[in-house]
Amino acid sequence: MMSKIVPLLFPMEIVSIVTRSRSTDLEVNGLPKGFVPQNCEVLLFGEEVHGSSVRTHYLLIVDAHFVFLTVCAPEYGDSLFALMRGMAQIDTEEGDELCQYAKSSIARVSTKASLKVA
């Protein structure tokens, strides 16, 4: 499932993908400035600002799966990175739990939130 969804969201060739050792997150490095997830439907997103660094949190639908993703723009450096914080199939209990987790996380940390689809 992950091997199909990652190339859809990040179709550029220059990214590197790292499994984080302290969590189940998947880290995608080398994203260009202004990057937004590709080939997906954005259900909800919100922006979190810390000084001059910005994190944009997304709840997405990709290939019949919910994906909770955070794109990070660090204070310094030219490239962005993303954390895939969760993925679950739509119409499952796991999918419903991920949706609720993503919605509450985005509402809690975002300085600007936008609901695109209820």
Question: Can you say whether residue 63 is alpha, beta or left, with left for phi > 0 and alpha for psi between -120 and 50 degrees?
Answer: left
User: Domain segments of the chain: what residues?
Assistant: 2-112
pTM of the predicted model, to two decimals?
0.84
User: Would the CA dihedral through 105, 43, 50, 12 be positive or negative?
Assistant: positive
Length of the chain: 118
| Contacts (Cβ under 8 Å, ≥6 apart) of 78 | 33
pLDDT in tens, 54-100: 899 999 999 999 999 999 988 777 788 998 899 999 999 999 999 99
pLDDT in tens, 34-48: 889 999 999 999 998
CB 65: neighbour CB atoms within 10 A?
Answer: 20
For 20, what's the count of Cα atoms within 13 Å in the CB-facing half-sphere?
Answer: 14
At 34, give phi and psi (nearest 5°).
Answer: 80, 5
